[in-house]
Chain A
Amino acid sequence: MVISSRIFLEFILAVIVIAAILLFIGARFFRFRNRRLAVITAFILFCVAFLWIFQSHFQGLLSVMPFFAAKTTPESFSGNVFYRSESGARLFTTLILSMGFLVSIYNAEYLRKEQRQHTFYPLMLMMMAGVIGMLWAADLLLVYLFSELMNICAYSLVAYRRKSNEAIEAGFKYLMMGSVASVIILAGISILFYTAGTVQISQIDLGRNGLSQLGALFILSGFCLKSAIVPLHTWLPGAYSKAPSTISALLSILEQSVFYVMLRIILSIGMPPLLLGNLFLIFALLNIFVGNLMGIMQKNLKRMLGYSTIAQLGYIALCFAIGLRNGSALALQSGFFMIIAHALTKGLAFLGAGTFYHYEGLDNISEIRALHNHPLFSIIVLIVAVLSLSAIPPFPGFTGKWAALTSVFAANDPLAAWITLAFLIGSLIAFGYYLPLLVNLSGLILRRNLQNKNEEPQKKISVWIKLPAALLALSIILIIISPQLILNNTLDAAQFLMELIK
């Protein structure tokens, strides 16, 4: 008896949620310190990620358990709650679980000076459960519920440094805008329920019904806000810059999962791919230009990275737009490739930026560039990330763009020349902020070499911070050595979307 991915998913969701609750209770009663909490979280996430990645080897495990074994017969549980196999969601789940694991290790040192860690880790776990549930839910209402779970945790995590007014402000702004988005999505879902009589994504068909199309539009715009499509992006830079770095790293995957879920829902309920592709093209151009232009003006490192996330989402949307317009699997593949590459590099960038906050208490680039004794490791980590983000060959950021451009020309898109132009102008503008950052960072290295005779003792970077950053950097080097490995893994996801397009 083969157990479907769906049952496995329920098992994993259950583990994460139960772990979150137990962790909260445990931390409350046994007064766990930060490091122990972080290690427990990391251990749980490691086990879950391990089970998830190698799930085909563990399926026998579940059939032994009575509760899950009972449900191995399909349809026993009120219709299709979760997708049975959904390659795109699987990819995102793998990403978010692995990033969660790395981030938890990082937190062991990073959150040492903060307070109330016993709320942090359970909230983080719940947020991840929300993302995973949202990705897999086959039912609009469930998508809504899980996305609410995710967002509510995200709001409170963004405002986690509650002593700082700015963090509260950022979290509150995120909450306000997110709630509006939720209401709009809920309205869209109700309209669709009214017209179609069901909330099952696979059973809804927009057809030519004007009301249904309005509902779809509501859902689209709500999710646009949650995934920071310009001009609904204003919550993002603040949230990214004021949240703890580890949360920012998770948020950048989260935002793209929302984007992907939006794409899948809208496509499945029957919006014409060409129309959606054209819409995405507009989103993409807006995001690339606004993100990159605003990035130039930023003085705060993490805020700049936030704007760079907006721009990168634009590139990803552009890939999907090409795929939707031309039905090109290669373009979709390059979109997924960019998602993976961006998740890893942005994660690395935030982990690198976090060291400046943690060790020096600095966030502004003008202050960071004046440092002269910052540990080499974190500077190099940040340089690697920025090189990849600014699409310098052979870093993954470049390989993704190369694949995207190849797919534009291979698909013979009528707008190929203009799309290419947008791509290039966007990346050229982006150099306006990546390059000064690189220059400043290289200056830091040189200054370290000049002044290492002074009395100030060298700061040592904790191994808790080094390990996850090194793992992420290694994964980037792995992609440099063999991008084919990643590209092969995106094939299933691209084919899944191709079926929806047809």
Chain B
Amino acid sequence: MNQQEWIKIFVLMIKLIGGIVLLTLGKRFRNHARWVALAASIASLALFIAYLPALQAGDHTPFELNYMPALGIKLSLNIDWLSFPFLLTEEFVTIFAIIYSLGYIKTDDRTHLFYGLLLFFSAGMSGTTLANDIFLFYFFWELMLIASAFLIVNWGESEKRSATALKYFILTHLGSLFVLVALIIVYSQSGIDHFSQLWQAFQINPGSLQLVGSLFLIGFGVKMAIVPFHIWLPDTHAEAPMPVTIMLAAAMLSMGTYGILRFPMGFFTFDQFAVFSFPLMLFGVISEIYGAVIALVEKDIKRIIAYSSVSQMGYILFGLGTLTIYGVVGSTLHVVYHAIVKALLFCCAGWIIKETGKRDINDIRRVGRGRLLLTVCTMVGALAMAGVPALALFNSEWLIFSSGFQTPYTVLAVVEVLGSILTAAYILRFVGLLFFAPGKETPTREITPLSVKVATGILALLTVIAGFFPAPLFNYVINEVPLLFGGKW
């Protein structure tokens, strides 16, 4: 095995090993568990960055391991340009979530289990993007789900946590099962289970084409929380402890986008996929507007941001549905930017909740007084979410909107653009009520730990930087285009 293959394995294994060590031996060094988790996630990111030169040089040889020859299962890992933006997002979000929880999660007798599960959750997401074969993909897809469900069950914020986690698990597992069936149909009809070979040698019975496509889209749509499959999302986001919410909202939702890009859009030819263009755009618009409208009337600040995720996933789905190069690239960029901004907003919400002890937006007043950093960060996040130019999300929204008008469905594009006004509306309500509404200042209950401030500050900085300098990321992300539609786009 050469160096590149070792890197592929260890980007993943470092987190898994870290997780196993924390779960089994973590009791001995309970107070230092968080540093182990942080070190593992930073090492993983460092290894991933070390792989970049090889990726640019065009190294696409996957790592392989024979597992079940009788069923044709070979375990395989690979990094290509399609997995790059998602893996990058996931690695960064994990680090920020862990930094955030350094001070946010109080050290007690079970902290090591929390960080162990967090690493497993993160490894599940890395594995999903790294996996190059069907079996491993599904394994990590489930690992992600199980680890997050356990985190919600045991560290949820209210008494309803078990019910919430059960709902989350059953619904997203239903989505996973759709994906599983589609994967198995693809495998049994093509006879190849490696993505790196499959995307060119993909064969499918025309009769089952629409079935497979719908199964994939519904399965990943559940993960992306597209209306009407979004019902698990608000409860889960409101219930999970803040670091987990950050990982769920910023990183895990994007795995659905990755799945759509990797499977139906990666394997089908353009003509085969064209039938799905209109449904994708339609559900994109519905999600966008629905999420925004609910966010406009919700009271719980965590739920407001959660519904804004539903709305933002609508943008992404719309972009994918346009089936134009800039639309798809814009959606991928939107995933990365949305991860930054959503993590930032949840960080700010966690900060506010920590200081005031309240979650109802009507009970919190003038939270900005004497908290300059919080005010600035929230403003940056909120304005970015509203699509203000020169902040992160504007660039990708621009691409998505403009490609919407290149499709035959101009009416949908118009509705989509008009719908973004609603986004601005709920963001203004959010900021306005928290910072500018008249009323008595909400008293401080608890001093926010430094780690929360650090994570929030860096994320705000990243939002601004990403907004001003979109070019580098854009140049990386556009490399994914040759990997779509069987390379014949």
- Which residues of A pack against B, CB within 8 Å? 330, 333, 392-394, 399, 402-403, 405-406, 409-410, 417, 420, 424, 427-428, 431-432, 435-436, 439, 442-443, 445-446, 449-450, 452, 482-484, 487-488
Contact = CB atoms under 8 A, between A and B. Distances in A.
Given A435-B169, A439-B153, A450-B108, 10 more contacts: A392-B146, A394-B135, A409-B188, A409-B189, A417-B211, A424-B180, A445-B113, A446-B113, A449-B27, A452-B109
Q: For A330, A333, A446, A487, which residue has the most chain B Cβ atoms within 10 angstroms?
A: A446
A407 to B, nearest CB: 9
A147 B337 CA distance: 67
Contacts of B138: 393
7 contacts: A393-B142, A428-B177, A436-B166, A439-B162, A442-B153, A483-B67, A487-B70
A409 B184 contact: yes
5 tightest A-B CB contacts, nearest first:
A409-B188, A393-B139, A449-B110, A424-B177, A449-B109
Contacts of A417: 211
Nearest to A333: B70
Contacts of A439: 150, 153, 162, 165-166
B294 interface: no
A421 to B, nearest CB: 9
Given A409-B184, A442-B150, A428 B68 contact: no
Nearest to A440: B162
Given A403-B71, A484-B67, A487-B68, A446 B185 contact: no
A484 B189 contact: no
- Looking at chain B's contact residues, the main secondary structure is helix
B154 A443 contact: yes
Nearest to B162: A439
Interface of B: 27, 66-71, 108-110, 113, 135, 138-139, 142-143, 146, 150, 153-154, 162, 165-166, 169-170, 173-174, 177, 180-181, 184-185, 187-189, 211
Given A392-B146, A409-B189, A449-B110, A427 B177 contact: yes
A57 B142 CA distance: 44
Contacts, number: 85
A428 B171 CA distance: 9
Contacts of A427: 177
A440 B153 CA distance: 10
Contacts of A420: 181, 184
B109 A450 contact: yes
Nearest to A401: B180
Contacts of B110: 446, 449-450
B181 A406 contact: no
Contacts of A330: 70-71
A402 B113 contact: no
Contacts of A410: 188
Contacts of A443: 153-154
A450 to B, nearest CB: 5
A417 B184 CA distance: 12
B4 to A, nearest CB: 25
A436 B180 CA distance: 23
Contacts of B189: 409
Contacts of B188: 406, 409-410
B90 to A, nearest CB: 20
Contact of B154 (A428, A436, A442, A484): A442
Contacts of B27: 449
Contacts of B150: 439, 442
Contacts of B173: 428, 431
A446 B110 CA distance: 6
Given A393-B135, A393-B139, A424-B177, A406 B187 contact: yes
A420 B182 CA distance: 11
A333 B68 CA distance: 13
Contacts of A483: 67-68
Contacts of B143: 393
Contacts of B135: 393-394, 402
Contacts of A428: 170, 173-174, 177
A380 to B, nearest CB: 10
A406 B184 contact: yes
Given A449-B109, A449-B113, A484-B70, A394 B154 contact: no
A78 to B, nearest CB: 41
B25 to A, nearest CB: 13
A392 B142 contact: yes
Contacts of B68: 399, 403, 483-484, 487
A375 to B, nearest CB: 15
Nearest to B111: A449
Nearest to B166: A435
Q: For A392, A432, A435, A452, which residue has the most chain B Cβ atoms within 10 angstroms?
A: A435
Nearest to B152: A439
B210 to A, nearest CB: 13
Contacts of B153: 439, 442-443
A224 to B, nearest CB: 29
B185 A409 contact: yes
B181 A405 contact: yes
Contacts of B187: 406, 409
Contacts of A450: 108-110
Nearest to A409: B188
Nearest to A403: B71
Contacts of B139: 393-394
Contacts of B142: 392-393
A330 B187 CA distance: 15
Contacts of A452: 109
Nearest to A442: B150
B241 to A, nearest CB: 14
A487 B138 CA distance: 20
A409 to B, nearest CB: 3
B109 A406 contact: no
A439 B162 CA distance: 8
A491 B135 CA distance: 22
A409 B27 CA distance: 47
A417 to B, nearest CB: 8
A450 B169 CA distance: 26
Q: For B150, B174, B185, which residue has the most chain A Cβ atoms within 10 angstroms?
A: B185
Nearest to A439: B153
A90 B150 CA distance: 41
Nearest to B114: A446
A97 B153 CA distance: 40
B154 A446 contact: yes
Contacts of B211: 417
Nearest to A445: B113
A268 B489 CA distance: 56
A483 B65 CA distance: 13
A75 to B, nearest CB: 38
A428 B175 CA distance: 11
A393 to B, nearest CB: 4
A206 B184 CA distance: 39
Contacts of B162: 436, 439
Contacts of B170: 428, 431-432, 435
A17 to B, nearest CB: 38
Nearest to A394: B139
B312 to A, nearest CB: 29
Contact of A406 (B67, B71, B154): B71
A483 to B, nearest CB: 5
A445 B66 CA distance: 35
Nearest to B188: A409
Contacts of A424: 177, 180-181
A452 to B, nearest CB: 7
B184 A405 contact: yes
Contacts of B180: 405, 424
Q: For B143, B162, B173, B180, which residue has the most chain A Cβ atoms within 10 angstroms?
A: B180
A273 to B, nearest CB: 22
